[in-house]
Structure 1
Amino acid sequence: MTLKVHYSGLFLPWHRGFIQIWEQTLRDECGYKGRQPYWNWPLWANDLKNSPLFDCSSSSLSGDGEYNPGEQSLSGGNVTIPRGSGGGCVPKNCGPFGDLEVNLGPFDRNIVSLTELPEPKFEYNPRCLNRSLNHFVSSRYTNETLLDNLMATTDIIEFQTAMDHWPARPDGVFGLHGGGHFSLGATMHDLFASPADPAFMLHHSMIDRVWAQWQAEDEKTRRYALNGTTTILNPPWGKQVNLDTVMEFGVLDRPRKIREVMSPTSGGLCYTYT
Structure 2
Amino acid sequence: AECANPRIRREWDSYSNDDKQAFISAIRCLQNRGSSGKYPGAKTKYDDLVALHQKLTPNVHGNAKFLLWHRYFVWTFEQLLRSECGFNRDLPWWDETKWSGRFSQSSVFSSQWFGALANVNGGCVPNGQFASVPVNIGPGTSTNTPHCLQRKGDAALTKNTDKNWVNACHNTAVYPTYKDMAACSEGGAHAYGHNGIGGVMGDVYASPADPVFWLHHLFIDHNFRIWQNADSARINSVNGQDRFGATITMNTMVYMEGIRPDVAVRDILNTKSTTLCYRYDY
TM-score, normalised to structure 1's length?
0.77
Match of 1:253 in 2: 260
Match of 2:122 in 1: 87
Report if the CA contact (8 A) 2:157-2:192 is conserved. yes
Q: 1:49 aligns with which of 104, 127, 137?
A: 104
Match of 1:8 in 2: 63
Match of 1:25 in 2: 80
Match of 2:9 in 1: none
Match of 1:112 in 2: none
Percent pairwise identity: 32
Match of 1:185 in 2: 198
Match of 2:239 in 1: 227
- Residue-by-residue CA offset, 1:72-131 (whole Å, 9 max, x unaligned): xxxxxxxxxxxxx2411001xx11111121111112xxxxxxxxxx5x3xx322110010
TM-score, normalised to structure 2's length?
0.75
Gap change, CA 1:142 and 1:176, over 3 Å in 2: same
Q: Say which structure is richer in helix.
A: 2
Q: 2:146 aligns with which of 106, 111, 126?
A: 126
Q: 2:167 aligns with which of 137, 148, 157?
A: 148
Aligned counterparts of 1:130 and 1:45: Cα–Cα separation in 2: 20
- Residue-by-residue CA offset, 1:32-81 (whole Å, 9 max, x unaligned): 1221111211111132211111122x2x2112264xxxxxxxxxxxxxxx
Match of 1:135 in 2: 155
How far apart are residue 162 of structure 1 and its match? Answer: 2.2
| Amino acid across the alignment from 2:215 | L
Report if the CA contact (8 A) 1:64-1:132 is conserved. yes
- Residue-by-residue CA offset, 1:2-57 (whole Å, 9 max, x unaligned): 1111111211111111111111111111111221111211111132211111122x
Give the secondary-structure state (helix, strand or coil) at the position aligned to 2:107: coil
Aligned counterparts of 1:46 and 1:194: Cα–Cα separation in 2: 20
Q: 1:217 aligns with which of 230, 234, 242?
A: 230
- Residue-by-residue CA offset, 1:153-193 (whole Å, 9 max, x unaligned): 3422331232123xxxxxxxxx1110110011120111110
Report if the CA contact (8 A) 2:238-2:249 is conserved. yes
Structure 1 outlier segments of 4+, above 6 Å: none
Structure 1, unaligned stretches of length 5 or more?
67-84, 108-117, 166-174, 232-236
Aligned counterparts of 2:186 and 2:81: Cα–Cα separation in 1: 28
Match of 1:113 in 2: none
**Is the aligned partner of 1:207 residue 2:220?**
yes
The root-mean-square deviation of aligned C-alpha atoms, in Å, is 1.6
How far apart are residue 144 of structure 1 and its match? Answer: 1.9
